[in-house]
Amino acid sequence: MPTGWWIGDFLQSGQTAMLFAWIFWVIVSICLHELGHGVAALWQGDDTPRRYGHMTLNPMVHMGGWSLLCFVLIGFAWGMMPVDPSRFRWKRRGRIVVAGAGPAVNLILAALLIPAAGLYLAWTNVETLSDLTAQQRNIHQFLFTGGWLNLALCLFNLLPIPPLDGSQMLAGTTNSMYRLFTSPQAAAYGQFILIAVLFSGVAGVIFGAANAWARSAMFGVTNLAHQHIFTGSS
């Protein structure tokens, strides 16, 4: 019977390994996402991330107490990286680079972890996921969870809704887009739209699609590995 608390539901159903994978990858992925913004900002000539002590892997720095509390309570979290766009050497267009660096990090992680999950599945030489041993299932689950979650975070953050990265990238394209997405009205409306996306099921559709695409890619890698690596065929 569901407890009504996502951590309790994982524990009650005996999915301790899945709970660990989810907590690990949410926190690590958010921190690396924010560090991606920070590295890009430094490259653009803005030392704000370093001056404010955000060039670290410390989750408390990137996520803060409220984000971590929300994550524990409802499974939703966020991160922040202080930057000063007025310092960007590419000015308005620097926003594209700095905002896009976060999702790019998530995409790179997905591109590493999804094939890794596929290769591991091929290496175990089982016909179906249900044939994996408990230990093999935990390792595979850890890799695949990190892969599809990072793909989902990349797609979600590219939505053109303030304060998500997609809106900041669009703000860097033209002067009209800059005025639109940096206006106080855009920030206010963006908060309501983002809440609607989170609770209307749209976010669930994005995460579900990411899971399906990652699963398809993973099995594609598994099949290729069976054909060209682990069977010795060409």
Quote the pLDDT of residue 232.
53
Q: Which amino acid is at 231?
A: T
Choose, from 27, 33, 34, 95, the residue flagged as catalytic: 34
| Residue 234: per-residue pLDDT | 42
Q: How far is the C-alpha of 115 from the C-alpha of 201, rounded, in Å?
A: 28
pLDDT at 127 (0 to 100): 80
- Asked, for residue 234, whether it belongs to a domain, the answer is no
Q: Per the domain annotation, does 188 fall within a domain?
A: yes
Instruction: Classify residue 196: in a domain, yes or no.
Output: yes
The pLDDT, as a whole number, for residue 233 is 47
Place of tokens 């099921």: 201
40 found inside a domain? yes
Give me the residues of the chain with pLDDT under 70, please: 1, 231-234
pTM of the model: 0.95
Task: Determine, yes or no, domain membership for 233.
Answer: no
211-226: pLDDT as tens digits: 999 999 999 999 999 8
Q: Tell me the residue length of the chain.
A: 234
Q: Smallest Cα–Cα separation from 64: which of 27, 93, 36, 38?
A: 27
Tokens of 17: 């390994």
- The residues near 92 (Cβ < 8 Å, ≥ 6 apart) are 85, 171, 172, 175, 178
Query: Would you call 34 a catalytic residue per the annotation?
Result: yes
Does some domain include residue 1?
Answer: no
Burial 93-131 (b: 16+ CB within 10 A, else e): ebbbbbbbbbbbbbbebbeebbbbbbbbbbebebeeeee
Structural domain of residue 89, as residue ranges? 6-228
Q: Number of structural domains, the chain? A: 1
